[in-house]
Each structure stands twice: as C-alpha cells, then as structure tokens.
Amino acid sequence: VALEAEASARIERGKRAIEQAQPIQTAAVAAIQKQLGILEATLQTTTLKIDDDRTSRADPSNANKADLYFSLVDGGNKPCKLRTAEDEDPFKSKPIKADKITNLKLTTLAKLKDNLKESKLAITNTAGTCPAEGTGKTSTQARLANCDIGGSARYAWTTTQASASDSQTATAIFQENSRTTDCTTLHTPEKLQEGHHAQLAATLCTALKMQSPTVTTFDGATGVTLAKSNTIRQAVRNCDPEFSTISNPADDTEAKTLVDYITKAYGEASDAFASKYVTNLETEEIQTRETKTAEGKKVNQLKSSEAVAYALSHLEGLRIKRELEAEKKSALSATVDSKKQRTSKEGLTGVNATKSGCELEDRECKAKVATRVAGIDCEANTTGSNSVAIKAPLWLAYLLLR
C-alpha cells in the first residue's frame, strides 16, 4: 500500500509539472516554427534580382524622351539551403548543448533588405562621350552625363550574389552564462516591440530556464530515503494500528518509531530494497493481454509503456470481474429465508460471533467491514505486529515507475 501510494504521488507530481510546463513549451515551439517560416521566406528572397521589364508598353509621345522599366524577378542562386529531414545532422559530431546557449544570431525582418545586393546594367557599344575619367559617380544621371548611347548599344544585367546572414542580429537569450537573471529583466516590453526575434528570445529564455519534468523511479531507493517520504509515512500510519496514535507523521520527533520501522522494513543498505522489492519483482510472472487471449509474462518483459498499459488494464478488468461476481453472490445470499439466519436468540454469543467473522448488531450477526482510514483502503493487521496487509501486488508500484 505504501509503495503504491508513493508511486502514485510521484506520478501525480510529474503530471502537474508537465501540465505547468506544457503551455510554456507549446509557446516556444510555436515561436520556433514562426522563425523557421521567416527563414524560409528570407532564403527565397535571396533569389530575387532586377532585370528588364519585358511587358509590352507604348512609347512616350515625346521623341526626346525614353522611359525605362525594370522588374524584380526570381532566378538568382540561393546562398544556402534549409536542412530537410533526410539530411544528415550537421551537429552530429558536435551536438548542440542547450544549457550553454546564451546568445543566438537570429534573422530579423527589419534587416531583410540587407541580404539583397546591387544589380548592374552595363551599356556597351555606345557612340561615345560617356564619362570615363574614373571618378566616383553616385547617381544614374552622373553616370550617363553627355553619354551618346546610340542604336548600336548593348545592355547586360548582372546581380551580386545575395547573402543569407546579413539580416541576422545577435540576440541575447540570457543575461549571462549562469542564467541567474530573471527573463523579464532582460526581455522588457520595450525590447519585445523590436520584432519576432526579440519575442522568440524571451520565449526561449523562459522555456530553457524551466527544468524538464521528471518522475523519480525507485532505482537506488533505500529504507533511509523512503522513510523521508510523507506519503509512505501516512500510508503506514493509517494502515498499521501500531502507529495509529501518531498525529503528525511528518514530525520526525513524534514519528521516530515509524521512521525507524520504515527504514528497517525497506533496508538500510544500498542494495537491500532493490534485491527485496525490485529484482524479485522483475522476474515475477503476471497476466496480460495484448492479443486475442491472455498470457503470462514476466514483469521485465514489459519493455514499452504500451505493454505496461496492456498489463494494467487487463488486471484491472480481472479485478472488476471479481467484484461483480462477489456482488452477485452477496445478492443471492441476501435472499435466504430469514428463519435460517443465526441470531443471538439461537445461542450465538459475542465470542463465537467474533470468531466467525461477525459482529452483533441489533441482535443480528452482520459481516465485519474492512477499516478505511484517511482515504487509504487498509485491511486489519492480521499478520502480526508491525506488518501491513498489501492491497495490491507490489509490482504495481514497480510498473507505474518503470
């Protein structure tokens, strides 16, 4: 009972931790997915270049005027590519250590234009008089000043290869490597207005500072460590009359005898608990049902969480079946003629009533009811001093915390 209660308590604590972490982790995943979308869009823009607009347009009515049209077209080479699920992990030989991340270079929408480079329209075979002294020119007008282009001129566009990294901004995820500063101190409301990269940094800070929810197994447990569990203390106190007078099991002074008992019962040596409660249980055979028929399997053969679930559900079904059968027998017994009931008038005394498992109430023999204390279903101590009747197989706790 105590081990099952402790296993259930650990699982419940793990569930609560997971429930608390879930919205934070979900927000972090959503922010990362959005950033991946920004990266994909950013990479696509690196293929853009300027070229002649080839749409048919009417000439200007003024013979001394020429209108030039240019278009932004797709056709350039991407400077890199996004990794797909089939690609080998580039960090395989040197895995990323999430606990070492302090700053990240993140692509920002505000700097997207910095990835795109200049396009050049080279005009050759001009009639002459184009500027050729080699001094710097900063405008189209200066570059074409007095230039006699003529009908034989030739035009060619070239675009400098775009970059995929010039739009990145060094962004702090944590204030320092030790990650001691609170996330809200670094990621202020003003910083969050800078764009999605700032919002992503704040979300990652919160998610990475959160400890991963874990459920502690019974591996390495000893009587000393288990005696510190308030759940185990409560279970033993509630189920064993020897300790029923203890009002506060969590009080080490008042519950000293209880703590000493638990410590000795589970064993003080490092391997005592494992050899008595784990090793033996691993080879115990239990009934499970994964296919059409039930079969026996050793506990250590239940490798997956699904296999454990199959075994637990099958055993629960067997328990329910036994309860239903017991209820049917009880209902049948209740229909027996009242004349056949044994009463105190027919010579039943309080002594033999107790021995027969009955107690006298309203001059009638009624079955005794098992004691239920503090939410834990316990049976009377019938196996001697300082021994607790087991409500469920010991391997249940083992299965729950595998």
User: How far is it, in rounded angstroms, from Cα 369 to Cα 63?
Assistant: 112
How would residue 181 be classed by pLDDT, with cut points 50, 70 and 90? very high
As a whole-number percent, the residues of the chain with pLDDT over 70 amount to 83
The whole-number average pLDDT for the span 317-335 is: 84
**At CA 293, angle to CA 291 and CA 299, rounded to 5?**
75
User: How far is it, in rounded angstroms, from Cα 42 to Cα 108?
Assistant: 9
> Which has the minimum average pLDDT: 117-126, 214-223, 259-268, 277-286?
277-286
Residue 393 has pLDDT above 90, yes or no: no
pLDDT digits 0-9 by tens, 225-274: 999 999 999 999 998 999 999 999 999 999 999 999 999 999 988 788 88
Looking at residue 261, what is its pLDDT?
A: 94
Looking at residue 384, what is its pLDDT?
A: 36
Looking at residue 231, what is its pLDDT?
A: 94
Residue 126 has pLDDT above 60, yes or no: yes
pLDDT digits 0-9 by tens, 377-391: 454 333 333 333 333
On the 0-12 / 13-18 / 19+ scale of CB atoms within 10 A, 121 is middle
Q: What is the DSSP letter of 355?
A: H
Residue 223 has pLDDT above 60, yes or no: yes
Average pLDDT, the chain: 81
Looking at residue 32, what is its pLDDT?
A: 96
pLDDT digits 0-9 by tens, 86-121: 999 888 899 988 888 899 999 999 999 999 999 999
Residue 127 has pLDDT above 90, yes or no: no
pLDDT digits 0-9 by tens, 23-76: 999 999 999 999 999 999 999 999 999 999 999 988 888 777 888 899 999 988
Looking at residue 400, what is its pLDDT?
A: 54
Q: Which residues contact 148 (CB under 8 A, 6 or more apart)?
A: 126, 127, 128, 129, 130
